[in-house]
Amino acid sequence: MAIRKIRTQGDSILAKECRKIEKMTPKLQELIDDMFDTMYDAYGVGLAGPQVGMLKQIVVIDTTGDDPHVLINPEILETSGSQTGDEGCLSVPGMSGTVTRPNYVKVKALNENMEEFILEGEELLARAICHEVDHLHGRLYTELVEGELRRTSYEEDDE
């Protein structure tokens, strides 16, 4: 188990396009394990490659604490509906903002065995899929915030 350093807003890697993954390797498997460890350690519900300094199309998501997904080379196939709510990002610590996202998302991706699968999500899972896929294309949720970014009551600086 290894916790990796999470890159924060202002780091140029977060604004870059990620490369597709061609094949699974022991190093990539280790990256996946570390991404889950890092996400759970930070109480996040998703984490994307560039957030740990890897410009690769890989995302981990777990919106319930008991529903882990690995998405390699994810491609959103369908969206519908909309939801407006609070969103945050481990790369923008201590902040949140109001973002409108689709309420339903259907995504195609490869799992850690490089097998294609389809994942459908609603509400928080749909929001997380959109947010994490955006990371793979250099986009942060802060670009989508309606109104002002808010400081959350949780203050890292107080430690």
State the residues that interact with Ni ion by CB under 5 A: 89
CB atoms within 10 A of CB 110: 19
Q: State which residue, 25 or 84, has the beta carbon closest to Ni ion.
A: 84
Nearest CA to 87 among 149, 28, 136? 149
Region of 73 (left: φ > 0; alpha: ψ -120 to 50; beta: rest) is left
Q: How far is the CB of 108 from Ni ion (least distance, A)?
A: 21
Q: State which residue, 109 or 130, has the beta carbon closest to Ni ion.
A: 130
Q: How far is the CB of 46 from Ni ion (least distance, A)?
A: 7
Q: State which residue, 50 or 109, has the beta carbon closest to Ni ion.
A: 50
Active site residues: 132
Q: State which residue, 89 or 109, has the beta carbon closest to Ni ion.
A: 89
- Residue of minimal Cβ distance to Ni ion: 89
Q: How far is the CB of 10 from Ni ion (least distance, A)?
A: 14
Q: How far is the CB of 140 from Ni ion (least distance, A)?
A: 7
